[in-house]
Chains A and B, each alone.
Chain A
Amino acid sequence: MEFSDHIKTANVEDVVLRQPLHPPSRGTLCITGHHLLFSEREEGSSQQVLLLLRNIDAVEKRMSGSSGTITIKCKDLRVLQLDIPGMEQCLNISRSIETLSCLDNVSEMYPFFYRPTDLSLQDQWGLSTPEKHYTQMKELHERWRLSSVNKSYSVCPSYPPAVIVPNCIDDETLKKVAKFRQGGRFPVLCYYHRKNGMVIMRSSQPLTGANRKRCKEDELLLQAVIEDSDKGFIIDTRSSQQVHQARMTGGGFESKSFYNCWKRLHRQMERGKALQESLIKLVEACSDESHSVDRWLSKLENSKWLSHVQTALSTAGLLAECVERDGHSALVHGYEGTDCSLLICTLAQLIMDPFCRTLEGFLALLEREWVQAGHPFQQRCAHSAYSHARFQQESPVFLLLLDCVWQLWRQFPLALGFSEALLLRLANEVYASDYGTFLCNNDQERCALGVKDRTHCLFRALLRPAEIDYYSNPLYEPTELAIWPSVHPQSLQLWRGFFLRWTQLAHHLEEVQEEIRSMVIEWARVAQR
């Protein structure tokens, strides 16, 4: 089916666009396979608004007489309104938007058509690969090896083809362990702490089931992780009640009697639907314009979003404490090991590892821990807070990560090498993008569709000289120390730059960032002469 089949009306003249922070403007509306384009047709101005249809979360239409109004609610939380003359045109436009904004077929999506002149498809896709990462980490080589047991994705469909495992564990053992872990996600190394040689592993839950099955190979693997040290910590992102319930459906936990060197710590983290509902409530509260009944703080609290932020940061803090302060290795998992586990592993690395706090290091971290590690972006980010569609797998875990990183950035304004603008950009791109980085659910799917050959990589694009300045923190001052966030509710703030970005105020604050940036750049220029 061609895109044009979905477009009955491609052009409408005399449309009025209303958008936040701008006065209403009159012009031509144009619908293409992937974009909505509005060009102002007023004298002396040539404003254009180009919107990826994929960015549209919900469309609402309201007819009155011979014309209609379409309200477009975007995944970046912007709300646009189009007054369209002609009932039929209005209906056609809204139908086109509805269909084209949620195409299921990944290879029809815009990244496969986006061809900017300054990027070439021959360029390397991605910043690194598991192989390169392993080669660079020389300290690892003595005790850890790179296994290609998953090279055809047959052992774990959501893992990359190469993973890092203990030297003494062979591929046959890994295959058996994979059968004992949900979705085949056997424990793999995600972080090596140079200061003390301790590591963070992540996996999915063990499939112990109701009759307490065990798996010798799994026990062996975990024993190999801690080697001769006395103990390791398992951070389970579920409550102890939840893990007992999980056994009834075939899941479970590492019991003390079979993993006697491992100590389990439970921290219940919400995910999936609960998180999605939290986001919806928060966005509702943020866009509620009624000032008469101003119960804002209660609404903010009731959305529970900030308490999810708090839990994520404090669990990550706990993980970092195990590794950095107590000097023990840790294994992290919940159920599938594709959401909360990634979230807290990422945050813990930011807390401990100075390299992850550089712009490049942060993007590489996201590539490793989210893209390669198989966070199901396509399922999680199909819709955002406004959609009326019934939710299936949607959950704003990645957005929660960005929020947590922003809290770190706010508490340690000099310690991170990137700017708030980067976090905002990522929050947009993860829902609708010109680039292929966040397409699909895992590496296997990406390979099947040729994403790495037929789309451009966002992370590489962000590091182009033209962009890098904008996404760097001009006041960045590297520190080797761990940055321990305060997780008191008084220390956490609503990420206004994102959730209230379409209000006037966010602009002043952007201006200040701009001011600092230009100041520092000017200073650098002077210093260079």
Chain B
Amino acid sequence: MCKTVTRLETDQEIIYMCPFSGAVKGKVLITNYRLYFKSSDAEGPVVLDVPLGVISRVEKMGGASSRGENSYGLDITCKDMRNLRFALKQEGHSRRGIFDMLFRYAFPLSHGLALFAYLNQEKFTENGWNVYKAMEEFRRQGLPNNKWRMTFINKRYELCDTYPNLLAVPFKCTEDDLRKVAAFRSRGRIPVLSWIHRENQAVIVRCSQPLVGMSGKRNKDDERYLDLIREANDTTKKLTIYDARPNVNAVANKATGGGYEGDEYVNAELVFLDIQNIHVMRESLKKLKDIVYPNVEESHWLSSLESTHWLEHIKLVLSGAIQVADKVSSGNSVLVHCSDGWDRTAQLTSLAMLMLDSHYRTLRGFQVLIEKEWISFGHKFASRIGHGDKNHADQDRSPIFVQFIDCVWQMTKQFPTAFEFNEHLLLSILDHLYSCRFGTFLYNCENARDQHDLRTKTTSLWSLVNSKMDLYLNPFYTPESGQVLYPVASMRHLELWVNYYIRWNPRIRHQQQSPVEQRYKELLALREEYLKKLEQLQLSDSSSSYQLTNSTTPNTTSSTASTPSQQYTHLQTPL
């Protein structure tokens, strides 16, 4: 793949304790990017190809004196819904080498080493770092205008160290206002514009919670600032504030200095969206993993699935986003926040934008959406994913971004023609969320990325994607701009994303969207071919003043035209 891959450990005999096909003997190869295992069994070889970034925890199991077959070895917990177990011979500290290598290169940051993305020398025809330019995106939305202006107040990340350096704020507010508001918003994450509706000029504004505290502090500047946001849209009588949290959690946050907007915000109405925090989501996904890996729950599958609450959380996130989108499309500006405004808030704003703006449903538009609402606005990827960090039990870890991608997947299932990208893109994004092969999802905020020269020293995931766009395109896509997509957020219409969460189990037949996609693409390609042929024939025919378009006489084309049905059957299906 690239020059800088270093081979670290090679050719050691090892047993992979495959939960599906039992103990498999083979050889393991570890580089600073991946763990590669291939069984020595020639027929139906078992292959494992695991980027080290996926590893969350490496443990030794059994000791030199443990009894029982295959009781001595390594246990690897992965971030992508699987665990790996290897057994070795109980002699001469056979596992020490592998363990040390894995431990060192799966968690480079804990060992003072660089993440693999900084060593990767891959070259692509496209440069993914050019996909998102904040100013270009604002211009696309029609900004700045007479109500909204751009500010560089955060150029050096002084106002808010987790925000991007270019922000859109109400035209009427001064830089001084912004500083005062920043003092009253958790971590200085002031309300700024995320998206503006082209026709009705209603906006989505995002921020963190106000620092109300136990004493119920007020801040006139914040109140006035929110009113400026409301005034910037003529049809907004009351600014709707969507607090993503459950009501009780918002109240509890007062104890730690946070809180929510009270009655003093006279021109605003507050709605709680009941979405749980990062800890609840982490535990929910953990429960889901328990029922799908290594063995899938058989006898009470649906009620077990229900008891993980994973789909219920998906439902709440989606229905929250639907409310946001609906408000905005009916000409009402909204403000969205949770506690810090980098988890649930990012989910809500980005999903609502995906519903409202068909641009984000294109392959490049979706990249922009992720770059903008997630990466630039400081979703703490590093903390949530724990890239290269050995502290697997870190309470900051949480699958918030996975949950967002799941919500997007649910939407693509419900609107199969509305998205330019396919499921493969979503799977690839999640794979590289962990892999550390690209710089895209590294660090918590732009400030940190700048300090580490991320964009000059690493490659973007979008370089890979945009160099091979064909792989990620949905052939069923039929662009329809201006249409708001409201997915059905009822449990009845949500499905578990089997192709992701249960993909390691070879016994589960996944819904085979891909062969359909594949087949459809083949048909499209054939059609193209025929259209081209036809064009050539028309060209050659017109030169001999022969009009093909009105011709009913069978000519030479008909003999080639009888073959498609044969070609049709020769196309291979991966059944």
Contacts and interface: CB of A to CB of B under 8 A. Distances in A.
B488 A503 contact: yes
Contacts of A526: 527, 530-531, 534
A467 interface: no
Interface residues of A, number: 50
Contacts of A410: 511
A512 B516 CA distance: 12
Interface in A493-529: 493-494, 496, 500, 503-505, 508-509, 511-512, 515-516, 519-520, 522-524, 526-529
A413 interface: yes
B561 A527 contact: yes
A490 interface: yes
B493 A505 contact: yes
B569 A477 contact: yes
A415 interface: yes
B515 interface: yes
User: Which one of A297, A412, A415 has the greatest number of beta carbons of chain B within 10 Å?
Assistant: A297
Contact of B516 (A413, A486, A528): A413
Interface string A270-287: 000000000000000010
A477 B510 CA distance: 19
Contact of B573 (A479, A500, A522): A479
Interface stretch (A85-93, A171-179, A288-296, A426-434): A288-296
Contacts of A479: 573, 575
Q: Is the interface of B mostly helix, strand, loop or mixed?
A: helix
B296 interface: yes
A515 B476 contact: yes
Contacts of A511: 417
A297 B534 contact: no
B298 A301 contact: no
A508 B508 contact: no
A527 B515 CA distance: 23
A508 B508 CA distance: 27
A414 B495 contact: no
Interface string A62-94: 000000000000000000000000000000000
Contact of B512 (A411, A494, A500, A529): A411
B527 A522 contact: yes
Interface in B514-556: 515-516, 519-520, 523-524, 526-527, 530-531, 534, 548
Given A296-B491, A488-B298, A515-B476, A527 B530 contact: yes
A414 B527 CA distance: 19
Contacts of A412: 512, 575
A480 to B, nearest CB: 11
Nearest to A513: B416
B302 A301 contact: yes
Interface stretch (B178-186, B305-313, B369-377): B305-313
A46 interface: no
A477 B573 contact: yes
A404 to B, nearest CB: 14
A44 interface: no
Contacts of B414: 505, 508
Interface string B563-575: 0100011010101
A49 B524 CA distance: 38
A475 B561 contact: no
B498 interface: yes
B296 A300 contact: no
Given A301-B302, A508-B414, A523-B523, A500 B575 contact: no
Interface string A463-505: 0000000000001011101010110111101101000100111
Given A493-B495, A526-B530, A298 B303 contact: yes
Interface of B: 292, 296-298, 300-303, 305-306, 311-312, 315, 414-417, 476, 478, 488, 490-493, 495-496, 498, 502, 507-513, 515-516, 519-520, 523-524, 526-527, 530-531, 534, 548, 557-558, 561, 564, 568-569, 571, 573, 575
11 contacts: A295-B306, A298-B302, A413-B512, A414-B519, A490-B496, A490-B502, A496-B492, A503-B488, A504-B488, A516-B520, A522-B527
- 7 closest cross-chain pairs (CB), A and B: A486-B509, A489-B301, A301-B302, A297-B306, A296-B491, A523-B527, A297-B302
Given A475-B520, A509-B416, 4 more contacts: A414-B519, A496-B492, A516-B476, A523-B526
